[in-house]
Structure formats: C-alpha cells, structure tokens
Chains A and B, each alone.
Chain A
Amino acid sequence: MSARPRAFSKFREVQSELEQSGAAIFRDGEGVESLIVRSPYAINYIHSYAEDSPFFLGLADGRLRGSKCRRPKCGFVYGTPRGHCMVCGAPTDWIDLPTKGRVHSWTTCHFGSEAFLKETPYNLALVEFAGVGSLLLVRLRDCVESDIYVGMPIEARFEPNPKYSITDVWFVPAR
C-alpha cells in the first residue's frame, strides 16, 4: 500500500476522492502538487430565541404574532416582531397578526444552500398584511412558479408537530 494519496488534475475529482479516502493530491497545469485533506466540522449550538421566544412559542399554538410599538404617538406595527421599535426605540408589545395577507414579492428557488437543496424547488414570499408596517418572509406552498404573482391573496398554515422554527408557519393561496 502506498502512503501517498492518489493524484488528480481536476479539482472536482479531488472532492470525490476526499469522500472516499480523506486525502488526495491536486496537480495543477504547471505540475505543482498540493496535498488536500478532508477536515470535518460539526457543532450543536445552544441557541436561545431570547426576546423572540414568544413568536416561536406562538407558532406552536397556531398563532402568528407580530409586535407593536408601545409609544402611542408611534405605534408602528411589525410583521416580523422585534422587542424594541426601530423607529423610536420604545419597547414593543406582542400582537396577533392577521393570518391572511398578500404576496409583496416572491421567488422560486431551483437551487439553495446545501441544507435545503433536497427541498428544491421551493417558493419564498414576502407577505404584506393589512394595517401592518413591515413584512414577513415565508415559504409559499401548494402552488408553482406560474401561479404566483405580486398581490396574490395568501393565508397561513401551521405545523401540527412544531419544530420550533420559522418553518412552523407557511402560507398557501387563499381559499
């Protein structure tokens, strides 16, 4: 057995070799050899939703929550909640958002980050709610690229078995 890893002139071949044996040599056009090894990295973070927690707990109860600036003269209503008002700095209060809205903008992702590649194609939409000053980004399901348009009425659906993630809510075309 040779102690020397296999050599390749195509970088793609190096990648597949790393999956097999964990080491490879890349030889470039000028004959320069580089030793390349697989270097894994994984971690489970202890992530707190902190002041955003009530939103995610709300999703688990089938409630879509936004926030409203506590200062009466401001009163800005957020479609994606935040603990303090971005306009005036005052604390906000939790409110229930409408579960119906309209598509403000949208796209269909045919590729995605590695974590979501297996879910492609998927639709993303920014939702606008009547009487709410900012938007909410969601997945738009039960429709395809050719169905979707700006202004399309849509409504919320909730995950019956919550994962405590923003994916616990999604929108579908309004019935």
Chain B
Amino acid sequence: MVTGGVTKFAKAHPAMDFRLMVKRAYDYALKGIPNLTANRIDGTRISYFSDHFTRQLKAASMVQDYLGMNPKGSVRIEWGGATGGECFQAAYEAVASGRMDVCLAAGFETMSRVPTWKGNEFIALASDTNFDFPLGGFYTGYYALMVVRHIYEYLRLGRFADIQDEREAQRRAIAEGCRIMSLVSVKNHRNALHNPYAQYPKRLTVEDVLNSEMISYPLTREQICTMSDGAACVVLCDEERAKEFTDKPVQVTGVGCGTDTMRLSDRPFGRVPLLPHEKAKAYEDLPYPGVHSFRAGRAAGIEAYRMAGITKPNQELDFIELHDAYASSEIQTYEDLGLCRYGEGYSFVERGDPFLKGIDYGFPVPRAGASPVNPSGGLIACGHPVGATGLMQAVFAFWQLQGTIPKHFGDPKLQLDHPRRGAIHSHAGTGSAVTVSILERGFR
C-alpha cells in the first residue's frame, strides 16, 4: 500500500454526490506522490453496499468514468458491512496475482438520501426477507439478541454464577455488560477528539452512554454507529513500484475472510476453531458460535494470522482498527481475534488493554496501550458509510504504520509509538462475513 485518502464522514454531504466524494478522497491520496499519476493505475476495484441507497444501479461505473479510469478494468465489490474490507482484499488479489501492477480500491456510501428509519429498513433487507425481516427487521435488534446471549454465557454464567434467582442474576449481568460496553463507547468517542476525520468526537462519561436513548435493549444510542455519507480509497501495488512511489510503503502480509449463516437462528452449536495459542480444553463446555460470537471473524483471523505468521495476536499486533458498529460487537470481536480468550472480553476492557496511553478517559485504565483498538475512534465515532468504512480503516492503519498521523490529522496525540504491525477488520451483518487484513511497516 502506497497511499490512501478519506473524506470526512458526515450525516449528509448534500453538496457532493458519490462520484465527487470518491474524487476528493482520490485526489488526496495522489497528492504528494508525483510519480503516481492516473496513467500508472492499471485498474480499479470499487465498493458500495446498497443500490437501494444510491438508487443508481452500477454506480461504480460512474465513479470509474468520473475518475477518468476508462477503459481500464474494474469490478464492483459488495459484501454487506464488510464491503470495504472485501474491496481492499480484491485490490490486493489483483496485484498479488500479477494481473495488475497498480490497483486503486475506492469505496463510498450515500446513506443520507433516505430518512434514518428508512435507511435502517434498507439495511435490514440484508437479513432473510422470508423469516427475519417481516418480524421487525432491525439490525440493532439483531445485535441486541447476540449480546444478550453473550452476556448470559460469560457474565451470568461467569461472575454472576453464584446468584440463585435466575431473573435477578440476568438483570445484574446485563447491567454489568452495559456498563462495560459503555467503557468502549467512551474510549472510541474520546480517541476521536484527536481525529479531525471523526464525525462524533465527544467527551462522554459512562453515565452519558448508559443514559442515552434506548434503541434496542440493552443497546443505547451512544453504543451504536450511525449511517453516514463518505468515501475512501487506497492504492496498492507491487513491491518494485511501491519503492518508486514512496519511501514509506506498507506491506499487506496477510488476508483472511470468513462467513456464517445469514439467519442467526441457523448458527451452529459446535466447537471453537482454535488459534495457534489456544487449547481445545479451554472451550470444552462452550457451544460455539451460537448467537454469542462471530465465527466468521474467527475464521478470517485464523486465515490472515496464518498467512502473516502471527501466533500470538495479542502480543504481535501493535494496534487493531476493528468494525465497532456496536460497542457490543467490539467486545465480541476481541475474543474472535484472539486478543483475549472467549469469555474474557469484558475484563479485557476493564483492565484497559484496548485503550490508548496518554488519553484522558475519565476513569483509570491500568493496562492502557497493551492492545490499542480503534485508535481512530472506529465506526462509533467516525460513522459507517458502508462501502467506504473498511477502506477508511486501511487508510488510518496506513498512516499509523507510516508514522504520518500527526501530518494527516494535524494532531500527534493518536500516533502510536513506532507501530510495526496492525490489523484491520471489516464485518457484515450479524457476522455473516468478516475480513481481516494484516498491514506491516514496509520500511526501516
């Protein structure tokens, strides 16, 4: 990867259509790299999630011609919420296969074109329309179903195992889970105070998060990302050209993708696919994934780690930009990616591992900096214009690894100390598809 660009995500960008948004991100990416001109790009991969939102089918073709890329090869990528992550990997494959020397991956979404609740309906159409959608199709509801079970498995049967009264035990477990999810929301909103690309930088407290509007029990508004307009792009190329374009290239050393059933009701109750550092004995009594965990995320992690030679992800990744569409799914994802064991996600947050050093969160974070997650503020604070999101993560990760966060953000606070390797993680509805890509500093 040699460059990238992002438009600031916004609730609405009425003065820019999708073509202009992508053009702005593209111009930003190419600016400052004199050798990288349009004629050096062999082709593109263009991502957006929903034709319902654009109401312009084959919108990727219009991006292609607005950028002046015809007659070069292109294809539109769509894979639900993981659309951006898949686009990144499609561009990787175009270069890795030798088909292209230089490939542009560009993504966008324009979600402001319908009112919020209609937009939620469009998104919910990405659930089974025979069995799930007509019941009250609503993605926040689906994720609430997942986290209620996650809380049951790990808090009710964990730190509240001794309480005899079942209802009381579950109420207390849910309250505890919500409190811990709120810590994640505070983290991401406060990290975003130093990211000018973030849409919702906020100095929130746990109480603010808990007291925000209840959307789908137990998830509150501040624990949920918002639909947005935005675009992002990256340029990937082979090693030879990378050195020509920049003295600070970033290498893609691993890619992984996993899937799971569209319907939550079809998720199996089997065994945990193990990461190299895990033992089967640890999960003997855990029916997996059920609806509490994202098997697709675990599968994507296994594939990407194997390719990158990672055997202890919690020690060998300097940071992770992961798909925190919900504060709950951030916690579930720590476990899928092996940053901690299944069941330890809540204590992982309480110990402070995913927090950054040097940021005031308003509460103690003893192990801040151990495993920084979403230093950018993630989807919760930046917004989630679906087709752009996975590429936005790639751009933020790229700047981290280059050490150029201070330059691009105009604020050095979020720049980690010489990170060598990071992961990006893109996730489609209820974990029906997940991608993980490993990025490493490609220079001394």
* Contact pick for A112, options B117, B156, B263, B269, CB 8 Å: B117
Would A26 and B130 count as touching, CB distance under 8 A? no
Residue among A39, A107, A110, A167 with max Cβ neighbours from chain B (10 Å):
A107
CB-CB < 8 A to A108: which residues of B?
Answer: 216-217
Chain A residues in 8 Å Cβ range of B115: 15, 114
Given A105-B291, A111-B138: A117 and B145 interface contact (C-beta under 8 Å): no
In angstroms, Cα B136 to Cα A119, docked, is 8
Q: How many A-B residue pairs have CB under 8 A?
A: 143
Q: For the complex, give the distance between the alpha carbons of A15 and B213 in Å.
A: 23
Residues of B within 8 A of A96 (CB): none
A111 x B148 contact (CB < 8 A): no
Residue B265 at the A interface, CB < 8 A? yes
Residues 1-44 of B contacting A (Cβ, < 8 Å): 11-12, 14-15
Among A79, A136, A166, which residue has the most Cβ atoms of chain B within 10 A?
A: A166
Contacts of B135 in A (CB 8 A): 124, 137-139, 166-167
Is A126's CB under 8 angstroms from B55's CB?
A: no
Q: Given the interface contacts A107-B141, A107-B144, does A150 sit within 8 Å of B117 by beta carbon?
A: no
Most B CB within 10 A of own CB, among A79, A116, A145: A116
List A residues 61-119 near B (Cβ within 8 Å). Answer: 78-80, 82, 86, 104-117, 119
- A86-B266, A106-B148, A150-B170 as given contacts; A113 in contact with B124, CB under 8 Å: yes
Taking a contact as CB atoms under 8 Å apart, the answer to whether A122 and B261 are in contact is no
Query: Is A13 part of the contact surface with B, judged by Cβ < 8 Å?
Result: no
Residues from chain B with a CB closer than 8 A to the CB of A149 are 166-167, 170
User: Complex Cα distance A126/B264, Å?
Assistant: 8
Rounded to whole angstroms, the CA-CA distance of A26 and B15 in the bound complex is 8
A106 to B15, CA, bound (A): 41
B215 at the interface (CB under 8 A from A): yes
A151 close to B166 (CB less than 8 A): yes
Interface flag for B131 (CB, 8 Å): yes
Determine if A32 and B265 form an interchain contact, defined as CB atoms under 8 angstroms apart: no
The answer to whether A28 touches B15, judged by C-beta atoms less than 8 angstroms apart, is yes
CA of A113 to CA of B146, assembled, Å: 18
Q: Which residues of A lie under 8 Å from residue B58 when comparing CB positions?
A: none
Asked if residues A112 and B146 are in contact (CB atoms below 8 Å), the reply is no
Q: What would 10 more interface pairs be, CB under 8 Å, given A11-B14, A52-B131, A80-B265?
A: A28-B14, A52-B130, A80-B131, A105-B291, A106-B145, A111-B140, A114-B117, A117-B117, A124-B145, A166-B130
6 chain-A/chain-B pairs, Cβ below 8 angstroms: A107-B218, A111-B215, A137-B135, A137-B264, A139-B135, A151-B166
